[in-house]
Copies of this chain bind each other. A is one copy, B any other.
Amino acid sequence: MDLLTPRALASPHRLALIWGQHTLTYRRLAEHTAALAQRLRREGITKGTRVAALLSKSPEAVALIHALAQLDAVIVPLNLRLTPGEMAAQIERSRATHVVATEAAAAQARMVAQARPLLEITPAIWQHTLPLAPTAPQPAQFVAQTPLAILFTSGTTGQSKAAVLTAANFYWSAVGSAYRLGVFPEDRWLLTLPLYHVGGLSILFRSALYGTTVVLPDAAATTSFDPTRLYETLVAHKVTLVSLVPTMLHRLLAAVDAPPPPHLRTVLLGGAATPNDLLHTAQARGYPVALTYGLTEATSQVATATPAEVRRKPGSVGHPLLLTEVQVVDEHGHPMPPGAIGEIVVRGPTVFAGYDQDPKATQAALRSGWLHTGDLGYLDADGALWMVNRRNDLIVTGGENVYPAEVETVLRQHPAVADVCVVGLDDAEWGQRVAAAVVLHPNQRTTPAALETHCREHLAGYKIPRLIRIVPDLPRTASGKVKRGAVRNLLMRGEG
C-alpha cells in the first residue's frame, strides 16, 4: 500500500512531519522514502517479506514504515521495552527474515537479529532522496487484503499472539476515524503512542491519507513520559489531535495547571477504561475529550464518541465508526437486547485477517466474520456502546496491556513457587498496577524481592508486579477455580 506517493503528488507542500525545530513536506518525505525503498529492495525486501523493525520515534522510522508499505512488505514492529529474550522470541514467531532498526534502537537490534541481515537506518542512509514517481497508485490497493503489519498482542493464554493487519484494515480505519473526528487541513497529530502499537502505527497511515501533519515528540520524551514536556509540545507545535491513555491524561492534568493547549481540538482517550472522575476533571478543565474503544484486532478504533458526544452522554464510547458493526452477544453468540451486558463482537473492514500461523486462536477470535473481543459492554437503546470491563483478566497499566497468565507463567518457573495469581489493582496514576499473590512449595523459601528479580530477567519492566505477597494458599471456588476478586481484595487489604 502506498499512501505517500499520491499524497505527495496531491499536496507536495503540506507538512508531513514536525520534530524539534525541523519539518518535512510530503514531497520531501516521499523522496526520502523512495530512496529508502530502493535500498530495502536491494537488501532483498519485496512483497510479503517479513521485516522485524525496532523503531524509535524519528523521521527515519516514519520513512521506513512508508517504504516497507510501498514494497508490500510486512512490518513487524517490536516493543522496545521487551527483554532481548522476549524480542528474539517474537522475531522467531513472526518468521521475519530481515531486521531493520533506527539508530537509537540499533544496539538492541544487534542483540536479537542473530543470522538475519540487519539494516541500520542511519542519517547517511535515510537522507538520500529519489525523485517522486509521477504516477499515483491505483485505489484498488486500499481494499487489498495484502498483509501490512504483524502486531503482537498479549494473549489471554500467556502466549502473545501475532495479529495480521492488512492494507485494507489500515485504510478503512483511517476512513472511519476521518468521518468521526473530522479532518481539518491544518491538523497536527502528536505521536504519543509507540510505533509498535496499532494506535501509533495507524497515525502515520491516517495522516498520509488526509494530508495532515504528524508531530514527533522530542527524542528525550520518547523514553519516559513527561507530562510537562507533553504540554509544552502540544502548545509549541500547535497540535490539534493527540491520542492518550488515561494514565497520561491523569498525569498531564496533575502536572500542568494551565488551560488546555489552544489548538488542541480532540484528545482521543482509549486503551483502557476511563475512570469517571478523570473524565469529569478533564471536561471541567476544558479538555476536548473523545472516548474510544478499540483493540489491535480491529486496527484500533471500533467506536468513538466525539467531544460533543461525550458532553451529551459522558462515559459512552459512542456509536461504531462508519462501516464497523458492533453487537453485544451472550455466551451462545446470540445478540442481546439493549442494556444487557455481554461480549462485544465486531464486524467490518477493519477487522484483522487472523493470528499468524495460529488457526486455532484465529477460529476462536473470528466466528462467522465476527471478531469476538472478550471485552464486556452493552449497547443502549440508541445504539451507543458502553464498556463494562476490558477482558476479564486483562491488566492495563499506563496504557500497556498485561495479561496475568504471562506473568503467572514466569513466576511459576521459579523453583520455589507452587501457585500464583496475578491481578490488577486500581491505581490513580497508572489506571492499574500489577500485583501477585504467590504460594510456595512446602519447605521452599524465597522473598518477594527475589521473585521480582526473577521476573525482571524474563519480562518487560511494565509487566513486573509492583506488589508480590507470599500467601499460604489462594482462595478458590468449589470447582477449584481461583477467585481473582478475592485475591484482589486480599492484596489491597495488605496494602492499606
Contact = CB atoms under 8 A, between A and B. Distances in A.
A51 to B, nearest CB: 27
A181 interface: yes
User: Residue among A12, A139, A325 with the most chain B CB within 10 A?
Assistant: A139
A459 interface: no
A338 interface: no
Contact of A9 (B168, B172, B209, B320): B320
A323 B185 contact: no
Given A139-B143, A178-B183, A182-B185, 14 more contacts: A6-B322, A9-B320, A10-B320, A11-B322, A136-B324, A139-B172, A140-B143, A178-B179, A179-B183, A180-B185, A181-B185, A182-B184, A183-B183, A209-B322
7 contacts: A9-B319, A10-B321, A134-B325, A136-B348, A139-B323, A179-B210, A180-B211
A495 interface: no
A306 interface: yes
A48 interface: no
Nearest to A319: B10
A276 interface: no
A219 interface: no
Contacts of A319: 9-12
Interface in A152-201: 168, 172, 176, 178-185
A180 B178 CA distance: 13
Nearest to A171: B139
A298 B474 CA distance: 70
Contact of A323 (B6, B323, B383): B6
A349 interface: yes
Interface of A: 6-7, 9-13, 134-136, 138-140, 143, 168, 172, 176, 178-185, 209-211, 306, 308, 319-325, 348-349, 382-383
Contacts of A382: 12-13
Nearest to A211: B179
Please indicate which of the listed interface residues A143, A178, A209 has the most CB atoms of chain B within 10 Å of its own CB: A178
A12 B383 contact: yes
A319 B13 CA distance: 10
Contacts of A325: 9, 134-136
Contact of A180 (B9, B10, B184): B10
Contacts of A324: 10, 136
Given A179-B210, A182-B183, A210-B179, A322 B10 contact: yes
Nearest to A7: B322
A172 B348 CA distance: 20
A308 B185 contact: yes
Nearest to A384: B12
* Interface hub of A10, A134, A183, A308 (most chain B Cβ within 10 A): A10
A323 B209 CA distance: 10
Contacts of A135: 325
Nearest to A322: B10
